[in-house]
Amino acid sequence: MTLRNALRIPASEVTDEAVYLQRRKFVAALAVAPALGLPGCADAVPPPPEGATVTEAEARAGFKTDEPLTRYEDVTSYNNFYEFGTNKDDPSKAARTLRTSPWSVAVGGECDKPGTLSLDDLLKGLTPEERIYRLRCVEGWSMVIPWLGVPLADVLKRFAPNSRARYVAFTTLADREQMPGLRYRSIDWPYREGLRIDEAMNPLTLLATGLYGKALPQQNGAPLRLVVPWKYGFKSIKSIVAITFTRNPPHCSWNQLQPSEYGFFSNVNPDVDHPRWSQKTERRIAGSGSKLFAERIPTRLFNGYADQVGEMYAGMNLKRWF
């Protein structure tokens, strides 16, 4: 039995992104005008306010939560990883073909020390820490996951970003031989995401290498994935092969597909509904047995991380810049 069946929720509630992709085939024929210039489009993103800081104590308070964890089996069998299919149980089956070693990451763009490094060299001298974060998918479900990883900032600093580096772009592997989902042109492969550089440098932003004290399973984005806990899950890009410092807002796969539904920031916000559903509440996949998905809980601004990240958006209209 799939988790979805176990949870007794209809496919329509948990595959909204997939449903969107199907619907898009029809809409694409009508959409002759490019989306450039629409509100939420990434070509004019507000810069960070000056002097925004998060104290060490504030940051630390966000590193752990004592909410019930999502079970390992659920974290690793209820996944979104479209390179391996759009059903929640596709990645756990199909991603076994993903070869995660050897693995290298190309880091470049606006920095003084670009380079292509093996995973070991990229992470050399950094000790993975445990971070227990909430993960809120834009589809309306959430999990609590104990990640292992290193602060993204510690890795980025090694490449000496220059003063023109205002954003950081991330790219997932796109290999048709290993990734059956690439046959479908749902996304303009490779999957890409991006952050403003202050967001990338925030102490909460993690480059994850594991979960539950073990190496990251392929379906969760092995061997290296981003975790940005105050943003909708699709910003947390998996199986990263390139990191690029840019002057301009980078290409973000979901924003590019439909800018009116998926903003560049995509900060979790209960007061900004998705055009096709409310974001006020979420179904928490945590606990055990029949309690799974039982309760809807209120969604919190910045997924409950306002103390850690709120200052980065001071003065910004969160309804316009969703």
CB-based contact 120:155 (threshold 8 Å): no
Q: What is the rounded distance in angstroms from the CA atom of residue 205 to the CA atom of residue 187?
A: 25
Q: Is position 79 annotated in a ligand binding site?
A: yes
CB-based contact 98:239 (threshold 8 Å): yes
Judged by beta carbon, residue 42 or residue 222, the one nearer ligand MTE is: 222
98 backbone φψ class: left, alpha, beta (φ>0; ψ -120 to 50)? beta
Judged by beta carbon, residue 146 or residue 221, the one nearer ligand MTE is: 221
CB-based contact 14:138 (threshold 8 Å): no
Say whether residue 250 binds ligand MTE (CB under 6 A).
no
Q: What is the rounded distance in angstroms from the CA atom of residue 150 to the CA atom of residue 140?
A: 27
Binds Mo ion (CB under 5 A): choice among 3, 95, 122, 137: 137
- Phi first, then psi: give them for residue 119, nearest 5 degrees: -55, -40
From residue 105, how far is each of 72, 118, 167, 220, 227 by CA, in Å? 27, 6, 18, 18, 17
Site string for ligand MTE, 8-47 (x = CB under 6 A): ---------x------------------------------
Interaction with Mo ion in 198-237: which residues (CB under 5 A)?
A: 233-234
Q: Is position 238 annotated in a ligand binding site?
A: yes
Say whether residue 161 binds Mo ion (CB under 5 A).
no
Binds ligand MTE (CB under 6 A): choice among 15, 79, 100, 205: 79
Which two tokens mark 318? 């969160």
Say whether residue 80 binds ligand MTE (CB under 6 A).
yes
| Count of helix runs (H) and strand runs (E) in the chain | 11, 12
Say whether residue 237 binds ligand MTE (CB under 6 A).
yes
Strands lying side by side in the sheet with 104-109: 115-118, 104-109, 240-246, 167-172, 192-196
Q: Is position 116 annotated in a ligand binding site?
A: no
Distant-in-sequence, close-in-space partners of 225: CB < 8 Å, separation ≥ 6: 207, 208, 216, 236, 237, 238, 239, 240
Q: Which does 220 bind (CB under 5 to 8 A by kind): ligand MTE, Mo ion, none?
A: ligand MTE
Strands 296-298 and 281-284, bridge-based pairing? antiparallel
Judged by beta carbon, residue 196 or residue 231, the one nearer ligand MTE is: 231
Q: Is position 137 annotated in a ligand binding site?
A: yes
CB of 287 vs ligand MTE, minimal distance in Å:
17
Judged by beta carbon, residue 81 or residue 245, the one nearer ligand MTE is: 81
The stretch among 81-89, 90-98, 135-143, 169-177 that binds Mo ion (CB under 5 A) is: 135-143
Say whether residue 262 binds ligand MTE (CB under 6 A).
no
Q: What is the rounded distance in angstroms from the CA atom of residue 188 to the CA atom of residue 254?
A: 9
Which two tokens mark 187? 């996304």
Number of residues written out for the chain: 322
The residues of the shown chain that bind ligand MTE, judged by CB under 6 A, are: 17, 79-83, 135, 137, 172, 191, 220-221, 233-234, 236-239
The residues of the shown chain that bind Mo ion, judged by CB under 5 A, are: 80, 137, 233-234
Bind-site residues for Mo-molybdopterin: 79, 82-83, 137, 172, 220, 225, 236-238
Bind-site residues: 79, 82-83, 137, 172, 220, 225, 236-238
